[in-house]
Amino acid sequence: MKVTSLKATLRVGDHISYRCGTPDDETLPVQPWWDGPYSGSVVGVNAYTVDVREDGWWGRAPLYRVFFGHIIASPRGCES
């Protein structure tokens, strides 16, 4: 799968499952792959990553950055 095709299909508000993530706040722990999978709502799409919060855009949960290759499932069938 091409990264561009996954980027094109993901939208803010989509709920995804992913293997691991890196926090936006460096004081928070990473989400290691051995504790996953994790899930959350997409709150932003960048060149190589998506920004994800467990409780959605207006939530207070920490923001995590997830590489496209770490996404397990997305709403429009773009599993990696």
Domain count, the chain: 1
Flag whether 24 is in a domain.
yes
Flag whether 80 is in a domain.
no
Nearest to 41, CA basis, from 69, 10, 20, 70: 10
Flag whether 28 is in a domain.
yes
Q: What is the CATH number of the domain that holds 28?
A: 2.30.30
In 1-80, the DSSP E strands lie at: 15-18, 22-23, 38-45, 49-53, 63-67, 71-73
pLDDT at 60: 86
pLDDT at 9: 81
Per-residue pLDDT for the chain (80 aa), expressed as one digit of tens each?
444 456 668 888 999 999 999 999 999 999 999 998 999 999 999 888 999 998 877 788 899 999 999 999 887 655 44
Distance from the Cα of residue 68 to its chain's centroid? 8
| pTM, rounded to two decimals | 0.81
32's torsion region: left (phi>0), alpha (psi -120 to 50) or beta?
beta
